[in-house]
Amino acid sequence: MKYFTEDELKCPTTGQFKLQDGFGDALDALREEFNQSMIITSGCRTDEHNEWLQGRGYPASSNSFHLIDNDKYGTDTCAVDVKRKDGAYAAQLIKVALNRNFSVGIAKTFIHIDLRTAYTNLPQVVYSY
């Protein structure tokens, strides 16, 4: 990958790193078009890390697209959360992500982006936390 390192995308609990085929390239293409830095606050997750998040009240879905070996969808990690800066930053990131077929979740401190449409039969969505 050109813009992101394995270190910033790996599971913080186990250090595991496994992206769905093509996701790293799609993330780089998004970053290239967005033309601004993107601080990843969450990338790959194992079940162990996801449960840790849930136990602390975070909205981490048991079927999250962040998961390595997602049993429900048969995918590896195909989602990241990006730190929000200001409203203009968020609006531009959301616009570019949607144009590149990413689904978008909007939270107070981060923007979730995933490529569910590329790896499942799910439609593109926009939602808020």
Mean pLDDT, the chain, rounded, equals 96
Is 59's pLDDT higher than 90? no
| pLDDT of the residue at 49 | 95
Is 1's pLDDT higher than 90? yes
Stronger pLDDT, 129 or 76, i.e. the higher one: 76
The secondary structure of residue 120, as a DSSP letter, is: S
Q: Which long-range contacts (CB under 8 A, 24 or more apart) does 31-36 make?
A: 31/2, 31/3, 31/4, 32/2, 32/3, 33/96, 33/100, 34/92, 34/93, 34/96, 36/89, 36/92, 36/93
| pLDDT of the residue at 94 | 98
Is 92's pLDDT higher than 90? yes
Is 58's pLDDT higher than 90? no
